[in-house]
């Protein structure tokens, strides 16, 4: 019998790691449902559509596509940047939160925060301020740079860009597109940012901090969380 030819690989929407209502009252269930099932899902759908005519790109991870724009045909470069970025960033975002959050960084991670920001409370102020000041839609990040032995940095990106595009490894991320908070907080983005600390998944952030020493090896499939053999 002839070997079965593998079909095209497809990016898949990763399941939420908790229930829609698990982050209430900080993030309401309806926002989570729309955000994951509609917004994130549409980035995945649009990414797969953009790649439809380019089988050689269909085996690439979302992270690779985001980090290698020069390898993309002109006609899909912008669509891939938006949708691969939307997919990678939302995949990170779901994992950055937990219903059992509300802790604080510990160990070497806490030491690095103290060294680079003066402490956790000061990091929060800087992070919230950056998120509040970002004009329009985007993301606020805590990332590890490649400078000064891996200095930590708070930054923002517009659209769905990611600090990996500048060689910085993301440790923690919050989505400050209006779709992330509008139903519950309306225009009060600062309230959302403040409330969000109650659902931060410090286990995940600490794990990412520990892996960030091996940055080059760790820009991997899980960043996109998605490039699995198509099952549907």
CB 58, CB 51: distance < 8 Å: yes
Residue 67 or residue 180: which is nearer to Fe ion going by CB? 180
Minimum distance between the CB of residue 100 and Fe ion, rounded to whole angstroms?
22
Yes or no: say if 226 and 40 are a contact pair by the CB < 8 Å rule: no
**Closest Cα partner for 95 from 228, 232, 227, 226?**
226
Binding stretches for Fe ion (CB under 5 A): 175, 177, 180
Minimum Å gap between C-beta 188 and Fe ion is: 17
Of residues 27 and 113, the one with the C-beta less far from Fe ion = 27
For residue 144, the surrounding DSSP H or E stretch is strand 138-144
Q: Which C-beta is closer to Fe ion: that of 23 or that of 113?
A: 23
Q: Where are the alpha helices (H) located in 17-73, listed in sequence order? A: 29-33, 41-50, 62-67
Contact 44, 11 (CB under 8 A): yes
From the CB of 229, what's the least distance to Fe ion, in Å? 26
Q: What residue is closest to Fe ion based on CB?
A: 175
Least distance from Fe ion to the Cβ atom of residue 113, Å = 25
Nearer to Fe ion, 116 or 175 (CB): 175
């Amino acid at each position: 019998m002839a070997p079965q030819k593998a079909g095209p690989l497809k990016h898949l929407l990763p399941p939420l790691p908790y229930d829609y209502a698990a982050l209430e009252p900080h993030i309401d269930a309806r926002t989570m449902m729309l955000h994951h099932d509609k917004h994130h899902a549409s980035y995945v759908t649009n990414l797969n559509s953009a790649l439809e005519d380019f089988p050689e790109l269909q085996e690439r991870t979302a992270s690779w596509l985001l980090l290698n724009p020069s390898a993309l045909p002109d006609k899909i470069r912008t669509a891939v940047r938006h949708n691969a970025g939307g997919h990678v960033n939302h995949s990170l975002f779901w994992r950055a939160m937990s219903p059992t959050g509300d802790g604080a960084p510990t160990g070497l991670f806490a030491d690095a925060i103290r060294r680079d920001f003066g402490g956790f409370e000061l990091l929060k102020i800087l992070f919230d301020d950056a998120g509040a000041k970002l004009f329009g839609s985007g993301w606020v990040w805590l990332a590890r740079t490649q400078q000064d032995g891996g200095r930590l940095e708070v930054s923002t990106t517009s659209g769905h860009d990611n600090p990996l595009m500048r060689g910085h490894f993301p440790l923690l991320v919050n989505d400050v597109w209006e779709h992330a908070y509008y139903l519950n907080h309306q225009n009060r983005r600062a309230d959302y940012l403040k409330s969000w600390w109650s659902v931060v998944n410090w286990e995940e952030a600490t794990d990412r901090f520990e892996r960030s020493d091996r940055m080059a090896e760790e820009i991997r499939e899980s960043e996109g969380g998605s490039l699995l053999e198509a099952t549907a």
